[in-house]
Amino acid sequence: MKNTYTTGVMCCLLATLSWGATFPIMTSALTRCDPYTFTTLRYGFAGLALVVALGLREGRQGLSLKGQRVGLAWLLGSAGFVGFGFLVFSGQQMAGKDGALTASIMMATMPMLGILVNGIVRRIAPPALSVGLVMLSFFGVITVITKGQYGSLLNSPSSYVANALMIMGALCWVIYTLGAGLFPHWSPLKYTAMTTGLGMTSILTLNAALYLSGKVSVPAPADFVFIIPHVFYTAVIAGFIGILCWNMGNKILTPMNGVLFMDVVPLTAFSISAMTGVTPTAAEITGAGMTGAALILNNLYLRYRGAKTAMLARPMQEERLPSRCD
């Protein structure tokens, strides 16, 4: 597959479309299964399929971790799959019937979270305009959460936990996405398979601890049967295909550009939720529009800023070129 811009766009678009459908699907699944067990099943099947695909594609060399930064890969896998799976879906479950819409909007904050994380890691302060657009993005999120009734932030402290969990989960996925740049010699398939497999060790450990402590009960057999189609979609479509496409797209576009496509998630979730009878309010649509506008404006500004910097640097490079004598 050629590393073309169009390929990168299609990969990121396919991934985010598949994830947008995940949240309405999870609304049903979370009524019969806790988010921890579901995360274990989802990434367990997806991880197994990814490791098999890696072995078939790259052979033993692809499966080898000798001399590699295993600890870092494990940490990123844990952040991406434990952090995202446990935190986001726990928050969605706590948020109730509107959880799918709220969670999807939280995913749209990832581009702005990416700017902040990138600035902290590289110790480069983001441009003032980007900071302003970050604030606009979060104001849009608050508009969705409160449905335009901003005073409810003071009257409904119980919703703080659910919303905080979802934002923390979104932050974990941003860290996972940016972390791919630390493994430049790995293919997108290897990064996806290895981080999923290593992250599963954390998922299994934490899930076992929850069972043994009695904080979470093992679902009944009937509940496992009920969630089979939900697990299939989230493991195969949104998991195996979605995550692999995401990492492939970000390899081509770079994470800072690829993460912009997370704005597709709420649009998909809103459409599917509306078809199932959960219609977004005018305030939720307005908030989503504000968040989306902030993301697009910031991306355009960064592209303009980058192009301007490149143009200014070009004359200086030409002056440094040695002159040729005929």
What is the structure's pLDDT at 36? 96
Q: Are 259 and 61 in contact (CB under 8 A)?
A: no
- What does the alpha-carbon distance between residue 137 and residue 263 come to, in Å, rounded to a whole number? 11
* Mean pLDDT along residues 270-278: 75
Q: Of 54, 14, 44, which Cα lies nearest the Cα of 196?
A: 44
Look at the block and give the residue holding tokens 């504000």: 290
Residue 252 pLDDT > 90, yes or no?
A: no
DSSP state of 81: I
pLDDT of residue 155: 62
Overall average pLDDT of the 66-82 stretch: 93
Q: Compute CA 207 distance to the chain's CA centroid, rounded to the nearest angstrom.
A: 21
Residues 6+ apart with CB under 8 A from 182: 69, 72, 76
Q: How confident is the model at residue 89 (pLDDT cuts 50, 70, 90)?
A: very high
For residue 102, name the pLDDT band (cuts at 50, 70, 90). confident
Indicate whether 229 pLDDT > 90.
yes
Who wins on pLDDT, 256 or 103? Answer: 103
Tell me what pLDDT residue 292 has. 76
Strand stretches in the chain, DSSP E: none
Domains of the chain by residue range: 5-318
Q: Is the pLDDT of residue 219 over 70?
A: yes
- Per-residue pLDDT tens for 40-49? 999 999 999 9
Most confident region among 13-17, 21-25, 155-159, 232-236 by mean pLDDT: 232-236
**DSSP per position, 220-270:** PHHHHHHTHHHHHIIIIIIIIIHHHHHHHHHHHH-HHHHGGGGGHHHHHHH
Percent of the chain residues topping a pLDDT of 70: 92
